Amino acid sequence: MAKDFYQILGVEKNATADQIKTAYRTLAKKYHPDLNKGDKQAAEKFKEASQAYEVLSDPQKKQMYDSGAYNADGSGGGFGNFDFSGFSGGGGFDDILNFFFGGGRGETQRQSRGEDIQVNINITFEQAASGVKKELHFAKNKSCASCGGTGAKDGTKLEKCPKCKGSGKTQYVNESFFRRTVNVRPCDECGGTGSKILERCTECKGRGFNRENITFTADIPAGIDDGTILKYSREGNAAKKSGGINGDLLIGINVQPHKLLKRKNLDLFIELPITLTQAAMGAKVEIPTAYGKITYDIPEGTQSGQMFYIRGKGIKAANGRSGDLYITAKIDTPKGLNGMQKKLLFELEKSLSDKQQPKVKSYKDIIKDL
């Protein structure tokens, strides 16, 4: 009887941490035992929601739950009655041990992976729409060319680590009344590399990497949106131990807002101010897009707030998809008319038939009947 924690909280599978929190808070308020004295059903619902939240609010438990490894009927505490069959962490029993007991694999990976580099850049609205190449300058740890990242002086051999005998791992066996657990950790003597340096590289002083200022050209794809993070895998810092992998380069994209256009995904929106005359008689108007200006025919009799849309004139993404352009007409009613102007407008209004202003006419009719 597997319970669906997402269903219990009433959120989507891809809900954010905030959405999960809000959903739980709402339910907790509704079913809290203090507010529902003696109501067994409410108490059950409160318990269920709390259990679901306990799991989904904890990234590690959530990951286990999402992978199908979490025992939904358990309290979330012990691992004793775990169902390993649903575990999809990638393989053998070793993986399962590492996964649950925080052992070898995970930690080795953390230790031998370089740090990510995060750089933020500002680009214009048009650059985001069309794509742009940007040169970035930053410092990063690069694997030492002189020693190949080993940290050992050129020509000097590395010796097998005496503690782990070159495996890079040490195991601790833990036996209790209930179970026997094997705890695999990176060797603390060699930091998981399995080797020992006899003489240090003079270039990097045995660190295996050097700090260098580099220039990186980021090819920002067309259609990128504000707040996107571009990830260049393995372009970050070199690992601190040889044989490791580089971290990633993360480029945060800040897009300057456009003066007139608002963007939502690939669609663009604009409020177009038009004159009374343009609204009444129609007009050709210039409208900006992310790729230059276009001319648009506002039809005769355009109403205030009326929306038009032009297919395909939104943002064009690198994958070939494109959004639409939505135009909302806003009549800019003239202010501060002088006597002469008022007279002209009044003459015009007098000449208008009910048919020419049907909304005003029907409003008047309804008001009369009320």
Residues contributing to the site for Zn ion (CB under 5 A):
144, 146-147, 161, 163-164, 187, 189-190, 201, 203-204
CB of 238 to Zn ion, least distance (A): 11
* Nearest-approach distance from CB 164 to Zn ion, in angstroms: 3
Q: How far is the CB of 240 from Zn ion (least distance, A)?
A: 12
Q: Which is nearer to Zn ion, 7 or 146 (CB)?
A: 146
**125 Cβ partners below 8 Å, 6+ apart?**
255, 256, 257, 258, 261, 263, 290
- What is the helix (H) or strand (E) element at residue 346, kind and residue range? helix 339-351
Please tell me what DSSP assigns to residue 315.
P
The burial class, CB within 10 Å (0-12 / 13-18 / 19+), for 109 is middle
* 208 versus 223: smaller Cβ distance to Zn ion: 208
Q: Which of 215, 202, 209 lies closest to 238, judged by CA?
A: 209
**Which C-beta is closer to Zn ion: that of 32 or that of 200?**
200
Closest to Zn ion by CB, 23 or 161: 161
Q: What's the closest the beta carbon of residue 183 comes to Zn ion, in angstroms?
A: 16
Q: How far is the CB of 108 from Zn ion (least distance, A)?
A: 11
For residue 196, the minimal CB distance to Zn ion (Å) is 7
Shortest CA distance to 327 belongs to which of 261, 260, 269?
269
Structural contact between residues 216 and 199, judged by C-beta atoms closer than 8 angstroms: no
In angstroms, what CA-CA distances link 8 with 4, 31, 116?
6, 13, 37
| Smallest separation, CB 180 to Zn ion (Å) | 24
| Nearer Cβ to Zn ion (51/150) | 150
Cα(62)–Cα(5) distance, integer angstroms: 10
Closer to Zn ion by Cβ: residue 204 or 325: 204
Looking at the Cβ atoms of 134 and 200, the one nearer to Zn ion is 200
Cβ closer to Zn ion: 154 or 297? 154
- The 8-class DSSP code of residue 100 comes to H
Alpha-carbon span 85 to 222, nearest angstrom: 44
- In the complex, the smallest distance separating the C-beta of residue 237 from Zn ion, rounded to whole angstroms, is 15
| Cα distance between residue 329 and residue 183, in whole Å | 68
> Residue 163: exposed, middle, or buried by beta-carbon count in 10 A (0-12, 13-18, 19+)?
middle
In angstroms, the CA 296 to CA 299 distance is: 9
